[in-house]
Amino acid sequence: MQLEQQLREQLRGKDILLMTHIVLGYPSFEVNREVIKQMVESGVDCIEMQIPFSEPMADGPVILKANQDSLAMGTRVDECFSFAAEITRQHNIPFLFMTYYNIIFKYGEEKFFEHAQECGITGLIVPDLPPEMGTSFLALAKSYQIAPILIFTPTSTDKRMRELEKYGNGFIYCVARRGVTGKKSSLDQEFNAYLQRCKNSTKLPLAVGFGIQSKEDIERLKGKADMAVIGSRTIQLVEAEGAEAVGQFIASLR
């Protein structure tokens, strides 16, 4: 089943979906297993698993540190594929990979897509690859039926949004504010106007991330977006209180 269809089916009877983010190998794959289990059991609808990269330019200090620590402990791309295959067999929700293009280029584009499909990945977020420079990437995404998730930002013009929409699939990731992940976003009137521009530019579901941290944030997105994305907050929880704190936090967002 393709990602967009999966998400639309999950939206039946729900005001908004919830997607979470983990960095693979941080603080360990064993902790990743427990965190994912708690997330799924607490009602998460989709999980974005980041293959760590040394220079994750879209990520703020929390996720940057997690990437660097995971790499320092020796995490490798093939380990991420093996882990993804295990996890997708255990949990019946969509799982995505998020990473940076250098990882895919070095691994080999077609080999990467082939292995991603084999291990049950349904979407791919690559924030540093403009679609105009990703002709072969997009062709492979279509061939292997893995949705290329494209990104709208507050600085995107209406024309640019409409152009990006032509290449995207699955959903559109709407960055809530300028800058990197982690800092709390102001979901004010300016943000509402931006989100309306996003909605006017695509028929795909809209996911909103960057600085979404609380039930209040998610409540304010209802009726305006299809999915809220929680990233840095769960990583901070694991660091401060351990994996067991994640389930209770996720449940509190519903």
Distance of alpha carbon 58 from alpha carbon 54, whole angstroms: 12
| Annotated active-site residue in 4, 45, 59, 226 | 59
Does residue 225 form part of some domain? yes
Does residue 159 form part of some domain? no
The enclosing domain of 216 has a CATH number of 3.20.20.70
- The question of whether 59 is a catalytic residue gets the answer yes
- The number of domains in the chain is 1
Q: What is the DSSP string of the chain?
A: --HHHHHHHHHTT-S-EEEEEEETTSS-HHHHHHHHHHHHHTT--EEEEEPP-S--TT--HHHHHHHHHHHHTT--HHHHHHHHHHHHHH--S-EEEE--HHHHHHH-HHHHHHHHHHTT--EEE-TT--GGG-HHHHHHHHHTT-EEEEEE-TT--HHHHHHHHHH--S-EEEESSSS-SSSPP--SHHHHHHHHHHHHH-SS-EEEESS--SHHHHHHHBTTBSEEEE-HHHHHHHHHH-THHHHHHHHHT-
**157 Cβ contact list (under 8 Å, min separation 6):** none
Give the structural domain span for 19.
3-149+212-252
| Annotated active-site residue in 9, 30, 41, 48 | 48
Does residue 170 form part of some domain? no
Does residue 189 form part of some domain? no
Does residue 180 form part of some domain? no
Asked, as a colleague might, if the bond just before 27 is cis with ω within 30 of 0, I would say yes
- Provide the residue type at 194 as one letter: Y
pTM: 0.93
Q: Which of 79, 95, 89 is nearest to 39 (CA)?
A: 95
Q: Which residues are registered as beta bridge partners of 151?
A: 173
The pLDDT of residue 186: 54
Does residue 218 form part of some domain? yes
- Angle formed by the axes of helices 61-72 and 232-241, nearest 10°: 60
Does residue 38 form part of some domain? yes
Q: In angstroms, how far is CA 84 from the centroid of its own chain?
A: 14
The pLDDT of residue 189: 86
User: Which two tokens mark 190?
Assistant: 């300016």
List the end-to-end C-alpha distance of the chain, in Å, as a whole number.
26
Does residue 190 form part of some domain? no
> Is residue 55 within 8 Å of 63, Cβ to Cβ?
no
The pLDDT of residue 118: 98
- The question of whether 128 is a catalytic residue gets the answer no
Q: What is the mean pLDDT of each run of 10 residues along the chain (254 residues)?
A: 92 95 97 97 97 88 94 98 98 97 98 98 97 97 98 96 96 77 58 95 95 90 95 92 93 90
